[in-house]
Amino acid sequence: MDLKTPAGFLRSGVILVTVAALASLPWVGAPRSWLVYLFHFSIFLAMASMWNLLAGYSGLVSLCQPAFLGLAGYAMTIGTWVGIPWWAGLLGGGLVAALFALLISGAVFRLSGVYFAIGTLVVPEALRMVFYLWRPVGGTMNGAGAGYMVKGIGGVSMDLIYILAVGVGVVSLATVRWILRSKLGLGLAAIRDNERAAASSGVNVFGAKLLTFVIAAAVTGLAGGVYYLNQGYIEPSATFNVRWTMILLLATVIGGIRSEEGPIIGTGVFVFLYFGLARYAGYSMLIQGVILIVIMLVSPGGIVAVLRRLRGYRALTGHGGPS
């Protein structure tokens, strides 16, 4: 946090008050529906922030995010079947996602541009087929493929799960802010603009990409673990699913890619659409796809770009300023 200037001090204070207010909602009698909406907002925000870090700031249009959240969710769930506490499974799930990102990086980083996107797109589908056929801890087939209930969470309240979700959302935003203001962030900006020029300037291109990829996988995995802790059940068809990729794209593009506030605004809009379109489940993906295309055509920079243009117009014409 920036405490060196009055504006920075005020901004930091607003952030702390907002986080404290969100965390206190379960204990001040907030309606349960608020907690449900904010739970989904926090989970989607964490995932969108990490995708924005990869695609917006690093030039890595990764489409394998469902693999990270799915592996973390399975690690947490299967852990409860072999006696590992759920909270340790959450941390372990983030670690599993990070290790998997490290494992596949050697192959996917040989690709670039659209080929990188296509290469990462097949990863969740491959994992979906693996988990359809593999029964990690045995048992009868439950649901679609290797479906498992999360064990030993009878005493875990919705309030606690909500706090975990808010925590993951805050961690995702703090992680992006920290990276962008570090040497790693400068290196990523150089790589995104011109990879060859960055390499010739001494930037460790592979190392910067790898570290960002692994960090994004870990935080996405944590968010996935909390999501499936709340679900209480996981199965491959819905887990390693392209709908997660659509969520990331919509939340980031609607708000504004390559901006810190973009995922926050975009996730808020997406959560409204997510619950508003629930009654039209058969057409939900189609409607969301149309919205995504319209946003990309009308304002490629998302809502943030529109707000910046309005702010610039007001500053230029003197509207909204002191008379």
Let me know if 233 is exposed, middle or buried by CB neighbors in 10 A (0-12, 13-18, 19+): middle
If asked whether residues 58 and 132 sit together in one domain, one would say yes
Same domain, 41 and 14: no
d(CA 264, CA 41): 9
Assess whether 39 and 139 both reside in one domain.
yes
What pLDDT, on a 0 to 100 scale, did the predictor assign at position 200? 85
pLDDT at 224: 96
Regions of the chain where pLDDT drops below 50: 143-144, 321-323
Task: Verify that 19 and 150 share a domain, yes or no.
Answer: no
Residue 47: other Cβ atoms inside 10 A: 30
Number of domains in the chain: 3
- Picking from 216, 240, 264, the residue at the C-terminal end of a domain is 240
CB 132 within 8 A of CB 236: yes
What's the confidence (pLDDT) of residue 309?
A: 80
Q: Which residue has the tokens 């060859």?
A: 196
> Three-class SS of residue 93?
helix
Clarify whether residues 44 and 90 are in a common domain.
yes
Question: Is 264 in the same domain as 305?
Answer: yes
Give the model's pLDDT for residue 13: 76
- Rounded CA gap, 52 and 201, in Å? 25
Say if residue 86 is in the same domain as residue 170: yes
Do 157 and 15 fall within a single domain?
no
Domain span including residue 6 = 1-30
Q: Same domain for 37 and 157? A: yes
| pTM, to two decimals | 0.89
Q: Do 76 and 225 reside in the same domain of the chain?
A: yes
In terms of DSSP H, where are the helices of the chain? 6-24, 32-51, 65-81, 86-108, 114-133, 158-180, 183-193, 195-200, 205-231, 236-239, 242-255, 262-276, 284-298, 302-317
pLDDT at 321: 47
Out of 200, 219, 240, a domain closes at 240
Cβ contact 264:255 at 8 Å:
yes
Are residue 61 and residue 158 in the same domain, yes or no?
A: yes
Same domain, 8 and 84: no
Q: What is the pLDDT of residue 2?
A: 54
| Listed residues 240, 259, 275: the one ending a domain | 240
